Structures are given as C-alpha cells and as structure tokens.
Amino acid sequence: MRGMTVTTSASPSAFWADADRHLVRYAGAGRFTPEIIDRAAGSFLYTEDGRKILDFTSGQMSAIIGHSHPEIVATVREQVGRLDHLFSGMLSRPVVDLARRLAETLPAPLEKALLLTTGGESNEAALRLAKLVTGKHEIVSFARSWHGMTQGAASATYSAGRKGYGPAAPGNFAIPVPNAYRPDVTTSDGELDWRRQLGLGFELIDAQSVGSLAACIVEPILSSGGIIEPPAGYFAALREKCRERGMLLILDEAQTGLCRTGTWYAFQRDGVVPDILTLSKTLGAGLPLAAVLTSAEIEQEAHDRGFLFFTTHVADPLMAAVGNTVLDVLIRDRLDERAAELGALLRGGLDQIARRHPVVGDVRGRGLLAGLELVADRESGRGSDELGALVTRRCLELGLHMNIVQLPGMGGVFRIAPPLTATEEEISLGLAILDQAIGDVVSGSGAAAS
C-alpha cells in the first residue's frame, strides 16, 4: 500500500502535474482554466498567486448572491453542527419550511415540492413523475437543450454528449429552437416564423411517436444552447400543443429561476404555469440543492401509482437550511428588482460594445442572464469559435472570467451571469474589460493575440 500524503503546499507545476495525472477530464474538449483558485468572495475569485478575477458566470451559473455570502456561511456553520443529514424517510423543519416557502413564491397549483441535489437529478425525477402519471414514455425537448447527465435527463439533452454512449432512453424527440437571430423557418420578410416552425416540429413528432407522448421539457431561456429566449407567445402555443396530445409541460428553470431574469421565475413573462417546475443551481446559490414542484393532483396520482425517487440526499436538512437562507436574502433585498435594474445596466453596456465592435453580431437575454454573440462578419452572421476563445483568454488575462458555449459553431456566444448582489461598479468593470478584450483581439494587440 502506497503511503498517503496530505499537503496543499505543492508548487504550481506540481499541482498541474497532479491534476494531469489524477483527474478525469469531464468537460469534453474543454480544458481547465489555467488558474489555481484559492478563495472567492462576493463577485470575485482570488488565485493562489494573488490575482483578483471578476466572476461574470456566478460560478457554474449558480452563486446568485455572490460567493461566500456571510449569511450562507453562517447558516452552513450552524446547521452542520446541529443537523446535517438524515435517513431519507425522516423529516426536519428546514425541509418542510423550504417546501412551503417555495410554494408561496409560485402560482397555483404548484404547491408540492421534492427536494434533491442537482439539476440533472431534479429533471430525472420530473421525467419519472411525468411518465408514471401519464402512463406514457415519450419525451420532447429542444434541439439545443441541456437538462443533465443522468439517463433520462441526458436523453432529453441535445446540445452535447449524445455520441459514443450507446442508446438513449427510447422515445426522445427534439423540436427546433426558435432562434430569432438565426431563423430557419421564416416569414416573407425574413423574420422567424415561430408558429409555423412549432407546427412543423410537432408534425414530425406525431409522425415518429408510437402514441405514448408523456411530456415536453424545455428551458424558458436556453443557456448552453446559446442564451436563446423563445419569443412572447411561444410557451402558450407550446402548452397548447402539449394539451392536445395529453402531455405534461415541464419547465427547467435551473438558471433562470429565483430572480435572475428580473422576475422570480422566467415563465411569469408568458403567464404560462407548467405542470412541473424544476429548480437547481440558483436555489442553493452554489451549493447542491434542487427541487421539483408540481400540483397536488399530479402528486396524488403519482403517489397512488407508487412513485419512487428515494435517494441518499433527498430532503437533507443542511441543504434545505441553505435554501431558506437564499430565500431570506432574495426577499429581503428585493433581488428580483435588483436583477432587473442591473440587467438594464448590463444590457445597455453590451449594446454599446456591439455598436463599437462590428464582430458583435447579437446581444440577447433577460435580466442578469445575457448573451453576446461574436461573428466573423455581420453580413453573413457566421459564428467564430476562434474569436470566442481568444476573447475569453484575453478577458481572463485582464481579470474577468467569462464563459462561452462549448459547442462547435457556438463558441463565439458568451453566457454572462453576474451575481444579483453585484454592484454597478462591478458590472461597469466587467463591461470595460470585455470591451478592451474584444478590441485587443480584433486589433491584434494584447497577450492573447500574440
């Protein structure tokens, strides 16, 4: 048996050698960011060598109230010393409190909650719930969707990860994404004809279905798909397509839920209430917490049919306590209003950057979930993965962490999601760095272009 060492003082070169030797690379073709992160606070990350980096991705699009929020830190310290984990059949006050409080933020009839850990797990549970209640198995989702890495969620994910893993779950179908910037079905004046696109999509679904359509699962704003927001009216029409076929509508608000878009939930814009709602990322503000919410009627039917989703960390009190603190901060500090205000500042700055740099093809998104797409030229709208990679690298050199969509042909799309607790000065700083980075790369100056 080899001796074990416990150390955190290895040199940077030894650190990266250990990483290369011992870590499974889990991000496809993506590489690890070449920085050793030592700590984080608020909107900033701090490296071992003393660099301060503004985080415009809220960690993994999750830390909506910033890193190491004092109230989250206090909750974890207190709760882990009192009650951290239980047998899955036992209940604690933080769990019931969080279920009730989440229901209070939602329209009727969403009042039943299942508390889990990750977005993939919550979507897996939602899909199992829909299949059991409807007695069917076929699932429809967007062609650029991302819903998770477990079997059911991965089978409903089309943006990446489908090749090389054998058969997906049977009965999964994709419909086209209503992308106004790159329309595929158009009106006579070249605009996206989303109604005809949606109709054609479901004609194909109907042709392929064996008559067992259970649910449609979609993100109100596709994130990994390129920060694409379907036009107003789309989700009402989609719900009608579901109703016509006896399908349930599942909305995945992993990144859009809990105030990020300027309202508590992105679906509020359309006045469409899903049959099942999933939350994750933002609910734990960076810690592993997720939820499935549905109606009492659906929950009762599932229970009568023996619904089973019994996991190690279902309804854990530690994470539920964190979720309650997240709600405390969101409500007290009116962070829905804050996200709308900061979102307007962010959007205005991005629009100015677009006016200054012809390589910016489109700016989109809502609230503090924004997208900026770089193109080789505006005339053709041809994307540029290379340009996206260079600007990302230059931003990091200048002290800004940015995230690009990791899909071939989409690598020029930035996903911008600062924490809701960011200051106006921090938003302005991020915009200034991004502006400089684009200018440096285009002009050929700066370290990234050398």
Indicate if the pLDDT at residue 449 is higher than 70.
Answer: no
Instruction: Examine the residue annotation and report whether 252 is marked as an active-site residue of this protein.
Output: yes
Is residue 76 packed enough to be buried (19+ CB in 10 Å), middle (13-18) or exposed (0-12)?
Answer: middle
Each domain of the chain, given as residue ranges in start order, spans 26-55+334-449, 71-332
Report the sign of the C-alpha dihedral through residues 362, 365, 366, 367, in that order. negative
Q: Mean pLDDT over residues 6-24, rounded?
A: 87
Q: Mean pLDDT over residues 279-303, rounded?
A: 98
Which of 112, 144, 239, 415 is catalytic? The answer is: 415
Q: Which of 16-25, 227-236, 363-372, 407-416 has the lowest mean pLDDT?
A: 407-416
| CA–CA distances in Å: residue 431 to residues 71, 137, 424, 441 | 28, 46, 11, 15
Return the pLDDT at 450.
Answer: 46
Return the pLDDT at 95.
Answer: 98
Model confidence at 362, in pLDDT bands (50, 70, 90)?
Answer: very high
Give 382 or 149, the one with higher predicted confidence.
149
Q: Mean pLDDT over residues 190-218, rounded?
A: 98
Cα(165)–Cα(172) distance, integer angstroms: 15
Indicate if the pLDDT at residue 177 is higher than 60.
Answer: yes
Q: Whose CA is closest to 358, among 284, 442, 434, 250?
A: 442
Instruction: Examine the residue annotation and report whether 111 is marked as an active-site residue of this protein.
Output: no
Instruction: Examine the residue annotation and report whether 281 is marked as an active-site residue of this protein.
Output: yes
Cα(28)–Cα(14) distance, integer angstroms: 24
Instruction: Examine the residue annotation and report whether 219 is marked as an active-site residue of this protein.
Output: yes
Name the CATH architecture for the domain at 26-55+334-449: Alpha-Beta Complex (3.90)
Q: Mean pLDDT over residues 79-100, rounded?
A: 98
Instruction: Examine the residue annotation and report whether 347 is marked as an active-site residue of this protein.
Output: no
Q: Mean pLDDT over residues 83-112, rounded?
A: 98
Q: Which of 4-13, 175-184, 360-369, 435-444 has the lowest mean pLDDT?
A: 4-13
Which of 219, 270, 336, 426 is catalytic? The answer is: 219
Which of 55, 255, 364, 394 is catalytic? The answer is: 255
Return the pLDDT at 410.
Answer: 72
Return the pLDDT at 447.
Answer: 56
Q: Mean pLDDT over residues 50-65, rounded?
A: 97
CATH 3.40.640.10 fits 71-332, yes or no: yes
Q: Residue 207's CB: how many other CB atoms inside 10 A?
A: 7
Q: Whose CA is closest to 411, among 371, 379, 444?
A: 371
Which of 281, 366, 393, 394 is catalytic? The answer is: 281
Indicate if the pLDDT at residue 391 is higher than 90.
Answer: yes
Query: How much is the mean pLDDT over the chain?
Result: 95
Return the pLDDT at 10.
Answer: 82
Q: Mean pLDDT over residues 427-441, rounded?
A: 98
pTM: 0.96
Indicate if the pLDDT at residue 448 is higher than 80.
Answer: no
Instruction: Examine the residue annotation and report whether 300 is marked as an active-site residue of this protein.
Output: no
Which of 146, 264, 275, 366 is catalytic? The answer is: 146
